[in-house]
Amino acid sequence: MGTLCLNPCFPQEEIPDLSRVKIISTHVAGNIYMLEATEDVAGNIAVSVGPDGILMVDTQFAPLGKLILAELRKICPGKTDIKYVINTHYHQDHTHGNLFFGKSALIIAHENAMGRLLDLPRYAQPTITFNQQLSLYFNGEEIKIIHYPPGHTDSDAVVFFTKSNVVHLGDLLNSGNWSFPTVDLEGGGSVTGMLRNIEDLIRIIPAGAKIIPGHYELSDLEGLKATRDMLVETISLVKRKKAAGLSLEQIKKEGLPPKYKDWGRGYTNAETWIENIYMGLEKESSLDKKFNK
């Protein structure tokens, strides 16, 4: 993303201070639990627990591995045999823990994530990759892993726990109604692509589903719709002002509508989100010109 450093989830960032971090678990539904790191330092983990063992979605940071295992022992005493790890995308706050868990678990990720994780030791890289979709049958339910076109990155995978009616969206969603997202343009992401992906997810996620976002608290379809509505309005606003000839700094100065004043409490504030949209539109415009010559 050039000089635009949006948040600590991008792989070039240093590992944050983890000395005060705790791991908190929440039962979501069925076999599924959500593990959160306090201090807002790492992505949310989904865990499937049952007779087949443990499956994890995302791994946070390797130094948190022992804390994660300790929390798993509370959930399922005597059973910490992690069979599978699924990475929702390549960013290090979702994959650095592969260094801790990858020596015993099989790691699954989209093939684009594999290409971006080659600097990790082989045991921490994906063992299984896929192109469009992959299904696992584990702990009494089908677990569907579906790749989405460029959105947050070009390696985004959404994980559906079909019987438990739980979906892990990775960083396609942060929080449903108070956190601007980020789009990793250098990582193949697309601002308008993220909107299209969320619109598609709203169509296919079943009613009553619990949604585990990449960061912050548990969400649902209403939260996802709130994010969709925000994306529609803010992308349209920046696009319109950009077309009218306003510079990035002018658009930042004018800001977003007052109703979004509380949305900058996460990693991304309003000015940074405006810049992310602006640069994303610039990238898409240059690609259009390149391919329409």
Q: Is residue 20 pLDDT above 70, yes or no?
A: yes
Q: Is residue 194 pLDDT above 80, yes or no?
A: yes
How does 94-121 read in b/e, with b if 16+ C-beta sit within 10 Å?
Answer: bbbbbbbbbeebebbbbebbbbbbeebe
Quote the pLDDT of residue 9: 44
Q: What is the pLDDT of residues 209-225, one digit of tens each?
A: 999 999 999 999 999 99
Quote the pLDDT of residue 100: 96
pLDDT band at residue 8, thresholds of 50, 70 and 90?
A: very low
Quote the pLDDT of residue 40: 82
Alpha-carbon distances, residue 4 vs 11, 110, 265 (angstroms):
13, 25, 18
Q: What is the pLDDT of residues 253-280, one digit of tens each?
A: 999 999 999 898 778 899 999 999 999 9
Quote the pLDDT of residue 11: 44
CATH level 2 (architecture), domain 23-291: 4-Layer Sandwich (3.60)
Sign of CA dihedral 11, 14, 17, 19: positive
Quote the pLDDT of residue 5: 35
Bridge pairing between strands 141-147 and 157-161: antiparallel
Quote the pLDDT of residue 130: 98
* Whole-structure pTM value: 0.92
Tell me the Ramachandran region of residue 2: left when phi exceeds 0, alpha when psi lies from -120 to 50, beta otherwise: left
